[in-house]
């Protein structure tokens, strides 16, 4: 075996090693999906919506298992809500415990529905200068408001832990 043969045989051992090293540094990465709609999917915030307005309504919005929507004096499992973005500035509101969507009828009355109806259950979210949010029906333009205190839907007894 001559010098040339030994040199090529020795180089032949390094070719697979170099190939593995070079392939290890060349990695393929998936192309990110640049759809503008993907930024809204999965944006879910859990919140207790609290109201304090000129009508002296101070309550946590609560969606009950029977579909009624009331103002509760204190936070409760029924008042924990998920706010999910549907499109820019528009959200759906979902009761975590009751698995009901917050919806608004043509008369402005709030109710909890087991099925999502985009016309009744989509709300426009507006950020005020003072940092608070206001919600209004996307279809009807009516503000999201709890029934007045004198309503029979008002929760008379405090429930849950104090605020």
The answer to whether residue 65 sits within a structural domain is: yes
pLDDT tens-digit series, residues 115-142: 999 999 999 999 888 888 899 999 999 8
In a domain, 76, yes or no: yes
Range(s) of the domain holding residue 111: 38-137
CATH number of the domain at 91, please: 2.80.10.50
pLDDT digits over 7-30, tens only?
556 666 666 776 666 665 555 555
For the cut 80, the answer to whether the pLDDT of residue 147 exceeds it is no
pTM > 0.85: no
Query: C-alpha angle with apex 52: 48 to 58, nearest 5 degrees?
Result: 75
Q: How confident is the model at residue 99 (pLDDT cuts 50, 70, 90)?
A: very high
How many domains is the chain partitioned into structurally? 1
DSSP code for 68: B
Buried b (16+ CB within 10 A) or exposed e, 130-155: eeeeebbbbbeebebbbbeeeeeebb
For residue 18, tell me if it sits in a domain.
no
Tokens representing 54 are: 């000129």
């Amino acid at each position: 075996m001559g010098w040339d043969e030994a040199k090529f045989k020795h180089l032949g051992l390094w070719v697979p090693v170099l190939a593995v090293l070079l392939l290890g540094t060349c990695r393929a990465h998936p192309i990110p999906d640049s759809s503008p709609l993907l930024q809204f999917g999965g944006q879910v915030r859990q919140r207790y919506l609290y109201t304090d307005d000129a009508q002296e309504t101070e309550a946590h919005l609560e969606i009950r298992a029977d579909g009624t929507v009331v103002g509760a004096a204190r936070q409760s499992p029924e008042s924990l809500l998920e706010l999910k973005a549907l499109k820019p500035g528009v959200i759906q509101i979902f009761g975590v415990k009751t698995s009901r969507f917050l919806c608004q009828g043509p008369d402005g009355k709030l109710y909890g529905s087991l099925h999502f109806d985009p016309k009744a259950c989509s709300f426009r979210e507006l950020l005020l200068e003072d940092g608070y949010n206001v919600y209004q029906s996307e279809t009807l333009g009516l503000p999201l408001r709890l029934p007045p205190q004198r309503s029979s839907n008002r929760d008379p007894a405090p429930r849950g832990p104090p605020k």
